[in-house]
Amino acid sequence: MCGIFGYWDRKQEPLPEAVLRGMAQALVHRGPDDEGIHHRPARGVAIGNRRLSIIDIGGGHQPFVSDDGLVAVVQNGEIFNHIELAAELRAQGVRLATQSDTEVILRLYEREGIACLRRLNGMFAIAIHDAREDALFLARDRIGVKPLFVHDDGQRLLFGSEPKALWPALPRKPGMDLEAIHHYLTFNYIPVPWTAYQNVRHVMPGTWHKYSRSGGVQTQRWWSLADQREQDQPFDAWAEEFMALLDDATRIRLRADVPFGAFLSGGVDSSTIVGLMARHVKEPVKTFCIGFEDPRYDESAFALQAAQRFGCQHTSEVAELNMLDRWPQVLHHLDQPHGDASFMPTLRVSELAAQHVKVVLTGDGGDELFAGYDKYARFFARPDALSMAQDDFEHQYFDSISLFSPNAKAALYRPEVRAQLGGMDSFTAAAQPWFAEARHFDRVNQALYLDMQLLLCGNNLVKPDRMGMAVSIEARTPFLDRRMMEFAFRSRGATKLSAQGDQKHWFKRAAAPLIGEALAHRKKQMFTVPIGDWFQGPLHGWLRDTLTTSDVIQPLFEPAVVASLLDRHRDGSGNFTRELRALAALALWHRDALE
């Protein structure tokens, strides 16, 4: 795990070394162990890396450069099948000087070009400067586990693992992107490719960009989950394949030259991962969880049950439930607003783990692949969910996951903001293109496909990456192994959500022999804190002051509408926890980032 950064100037105008050092310094939390920059001022290009040393501690310094000096590579992430790829390269006579997975990327690229990406099983954001073609490649892993941001003004491209890495190379920080904020109010996060900043965008998952002197950008999507086709399979065969794939995905994610462990909540996802880890290690698995004194939010007893079942070295902490003092710190690391309150406890459990390990495995991705959220059961309990017209299904599922509806947003905006947005529609811009790719799937899988592309990439993978990197630990996600994702979308929706609304029902049956019936079938519990209660009671005054004095809330939104949300939430006539939480996150982010 690392942070990468750099630039490509089409007029070959160089950036000063001090600017590159500033870009590196902005990512030091992602890579506190090492720094390397490949700079060619005469060509107007640099690629750099801040390294968190995990594989080949002594030999893994980046950038890796070809023997002739013409190709240089940096990456953020890990290639989990690098051992097998290295063996294959050596069998073909390729000399590898290190055990580093980044050197494997370099040697594969020399032989196969950018098509080598398909051979990589991992999480990664990669930059390759190829002087032979006078080009820069940027590439991102299949589902966006690792972030990569770009700013392109037509002459100079800047890139970095976090937006804050771009700021030292710009004359001023970009202003707020109003369209992105419009989508934020729909989703409670900003969907890719937008960011909160004008002209700063994500490199999309499963995509590479090629920058050349002509000024154009060649973009190609090199992997798509939509390429899968559903197949029928009996439960026994399905369960055998599911467990075998997840076992191997877990096994190869234990490759590290530093201590590793796992986040363990006692839910079916994390318990299954820990149970599989225990098969492949000689020492007890180090597991970490935080609990709360309020039983509504405390899962620590289930985590302890799983830890004892697998003989883990378990570390648990009862955390202070009120974590709102951490919110500004969380938003600083996110670089943009997120209304999800679970970032705060995720930061705390990351801090706990960082005292003991540099790598953790997590259960992220299991809910989106196998229908783990209650919202799926609620939506598909509708009698016409499977029979309604396709267009109606897409709009109604979208409406069911939206925070502010189009009408609610229109009422919230001041008239001049409403006019500036000009009828911008979040469904058309952000959701409809993904639905269009997924119409060959059944309805359950269509809903999951949308959440894989929007919710997972835009919010749920941001959480372990930014909160882990804030304290310099790497999070690895076995469920998001390429083989596991493709298997999940070859599986029909009925294997995930039963006709009775049982979520992950085949998954739970398959995992029960490993983790036990009690853990496999316990009710899902969200990892969060009771912000709604606080907004109604002890922190209502703080919330009202935050919103009514904000330099972003007041210019954008009708004061009377914001006041109505506050009043109705306080007196209990409505529950506007999520709406107020989103507005508060926007205000706090703006205060830190742009005021």
Residues catalogued as catalytic: 2
CA pair distance 439, 453, nearest whole angstrom: 14
Q: Are 23 and 160 in contact (CB under 8 A)?
A: yes
CA pair distance 108, 96, nearest whole angstrom: 11
With a CB cutoff of 8 Å and minimum separation 6, the contacts of 417 are 178, 555, 556, 557
Q: Are 580 and 565 in contact (CB under 8 A)?
A: yes
199 φψ region: left (φ > 0), alpha (ψ -120 to 50), beta (else) = left
Which 8-state DSSP code applies to residue 503? B
φ, ψ (nearest 5 deg) of residue 145: -65, -40
> In the Cβ-directed half-sphere of 454, how many Cα atoms lie within 13 Å?
26
End-to-end CA distance of the chain: 31
With a CB cutoff of 8 Å and minimum separation 6, the contacts of 236 are none
- Furthest-apart CA pair in the chain: how many Å? 74
Please write down the HEC assignment for all residues of 342-372.
CHHHHHHHHHHHHCCCCEEECCCCHHHHHCC
Q: What share of the chain is helix, strand, coil (3-state, %, to 5)?
A: 45, 15, 35
Q: Which of 125, 183, 52, 250 is nearest to 459 (CA)?
A: 183
The tokens describing 579, both together, are: 């709406």
113 φψ region: left (φ > 0), alpha (ψ -120 to 50), beta (else) = left
125 φψ region: left (φ > 0), alpha (ψ -120 to 50), beta (else) = beta
Q: Which of 466, 581, 476 is nearest to 164 (CA)?
A: 466
Q: Which of 536, 492, 502, 541 is nearest to 522 (CA)?
A: 502
Please write down the HEC assignment for all residues of 123-148.
EEEEEEEECCCCEEEEEECCCCCCCC
The tokens describing 253, both together, are: 């994610």
φ, ψ (nearest 5 deg) of residue 381: -75, -15
The tokens describing 36, both together, are: 């390397």
Q: How many CB atoms lie within 10 A of CB 432?
A: 16
The length of the chain, given as a count of residues: 595
With a CB cutoff of 8 Å and minimum separation 6, the contacts of 517 are none
Q: Which of 358, 309, 342 is nearest to 519 (CA)?
A: 309
Q: Are 94 and 111 in contact (CB under 8 A)?
A: yes
Specify the amino acid at residue 436: A
Burial call 84-93: b when 16+ CB within 10 Å, e when fewer: ebbeebeeee
DSSP lists the bridge partners of residue 313 as 286
